């Protein structure tokens, strides 16, 4: 698993990847081998440990609200029946994970109450 940092690169480079539709956008396209992946689950974790599950639309896009200042993390997981490997390393399913992390400087500030 590799993690993308920031929202400036709009090209997909990995098998599964959340890619911003434009530099610094809050809308992303989930790409599976370069093609949009529709109706897939994406988990968003926001600065105050707020977590939400969203789904990509028919074009593989998802938009995340960013009301808080701080770091956001988005993750998508895709499993497919795709055999590979050999011997003890053989497998029948492949699980791909994409994570993107970015910082929002403007927004509501929150204080951790521990």
Q: Which CATH number characterizes residue 76's domain?
A: 2.60.40
CB 7 within 8 A of CB 100: yes
Mean pLDDT throughout 42-57?
Answer: 94
**Burial class of 36 by CB neighbour count within 10 A (0 to 12, 13 to 18, 19+):** middle
Mean pLDDT lowest among 22-36, 42-56, 81-95: 81-95
The 10s digit of each residue's pLDDT in 73-83 is 999 999 988 77
Flag whether 82 is in a domain.
Answer: yes
Provide the residue range defining the domain that includes 38.
3-104
User: Could you tell me which residue, 72 or 90, shows the higher pLDDT?
Assistant: 72
Q: pTM for the complete prediction? A: 0.85
Q: Distance between CA 29 and CA 62 in Å, rounded?
A: 6
Flag whether 73 is in a domain.
Answer: yes
């Amino acid at each position: 698993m590799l993690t993308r940092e920031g929202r400036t690169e709009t090209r997909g480079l990995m098998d599964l990847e959340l890619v911003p539709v434009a530099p610094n956008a809050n809308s992303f396209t989930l790409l599976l081998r370069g093609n949009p992946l529709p109706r897939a689950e994406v988990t968003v974790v926001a600065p105050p440990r707020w977590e939400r599950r969203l789904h990509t639309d028919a074009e593989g896009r998802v938009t995340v609200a960013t009301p808080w200042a701080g770091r956001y993390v988005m993750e998508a997981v895709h499993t497919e029946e795709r055999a590979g490997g050999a011997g003890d390393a053989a497998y029948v399913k492949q699980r791909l994970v994409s994570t993107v992390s970015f910082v929002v400087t403007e927004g509501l500030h929150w204080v951790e109450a521990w």
